[in-house]
A and B are shown apart, each in its own frame.
Chain A
Amino acid sequence: MECKKIQQSLASYYYRELDIPVMSEIARHLETCPMCRTAYIEKRKTLILFSKEELEQEKSSAFWQDFQYQVYQKLEAEKTAGAWWRSLLIPRRLVPALAGAIALLFIIISSTRLGRREPEIIPADLQIVQELELMENYELIQDLDLLENFSEAEQLKG
């Protein structure tokens, strides 16, 4: 194995995370290659420096008791709080909640089509609508400048 590859595997070698044959090969290489040996020693020093003891300052037993107590407290708080809608099922809140829901439903229905009445159709309006159909005739619109008055339109319609 070449030096570059060895040096890339040194962290895994330190943690004993390589297959046994690879571990043996690296160990043999480190015995004979001063450059890789120095690299490994340096790496090992760094990793030893990052020790648990250095970075994980031991907490007092009171800290851990408090930790556990807080977990139980938080669990209890979650249990009593539950889902927001469950609080509405409490009898004294049930009536106002239902009344509120009905009022909300009424507002929604009255503001949508469900609550609207259909408009009445007046016969005179219906006639105007029929006359307007004339305007949809493309040819008539093209020749619109020839029309002197509405009677001509009446004739065309006939």
Chain B
Amino acid sequence: MESKDVDLQLIERIKNGDQAAFGLLLGKYQKRAYYFCLHLVSQPEDAKDLAQEGFIRVFKNIHTFRGIASFQTWFYQILLNLCRSYHRHHYLVNRFTFNFSQVAGEDEDQERTLENSIPDPSSEGDPQRLIDNGDLKRLMDKALAALPRQQKEIFILKHFEELKIGEISGITGLAEGTIKTHLFRAVQKLQAALKEFKV
């Protein structure tokens, strides 16, 4: 039986009040939900909260799911909206919060730029050493975090969630051509960021 059919069966059971079916759906999608949110928000605790909130919304709104799109598409839409709200909230909080570091003369924006996050290979030594001690992982996280929102969302949906362009189009509401362009630009930026550190 296909994964989509299994999902539909589980959803029908949840609609009929079967708690165990919700447990099965939770078990099936929890890893994907957590890592998807983690890639988007970078904070493990917040990612966990967002993924859990995603499941709560599924449970509360399951009666509105008509099965026109797949459950996976619907679920990713919920998670994506939650992560976008999270970013909006954090953007507003950061914008309207008194910034002590700026008063102290630290340039936070400069610190955040991708260029500054990449260590100079000549000063840091052998690239292999960087990979060994986890610097490369941090660099990849930073490179990913520095991508513009849409490029990052699309890259994560494509590369980590391994979704088809058509499915991403269903989740984001963007045309397939636009998604391919965003993907091309995202890969280009990541490639530029890691240029000096390839294995």
Contact = CB atoms under 8 A, between A and B. Distances in A.
Interface of A: 8-12, 15, 17, 42-43, 45-47, 49-50, 52, 54-56, 59, 64, 67-68, 70-71, 74-75, 78
Given A8-B184, A17-B180, A46 B26 contact: no
B140 A54 contact: yes
Nearest to B187: A11
Interface string B144-162: 1000000000000011100
Given A67-B48, A67-B52, A74-B52, A12 B159 contact: no
B140 to A, nearest CB: 6
B91 to A, nearest CB: 24
Contacts of B160: 52, 55-56
B174 interface: no
Interface of B: 23, 26-27, 30-31, 34-35, 38-39, 48, 51-53, 55-56, 59-60, 136-137, 140-141, 144, 158-160, 164-165, 180, 183-184, 186-187, 190-191, 194, 198-199
Given A11-B184, A52-B160, A67-B30, A45 B198 contact: yes
Nearest to A78: B56
A4 B136 CA distance: 30
B21 to A, nearest CB: 14
A68 B183 contact: no
A9 B137 CA distance: 27
A79 B138 CA distance: 40
A44 B158 CA distance: 14
A47 B137 contact: no
A8 B183 CA distance: 10
Contacts of A75: 56, 59
Contacts of B144: 50, 55
Given A67-B48, A67-B52, A68-B23, A43 B191 contact: yes
Contacts of A49: 136, 140, 194, 198-199
Given A45-B198, A45-B199, A55-B140, A68 B27 contact: yes
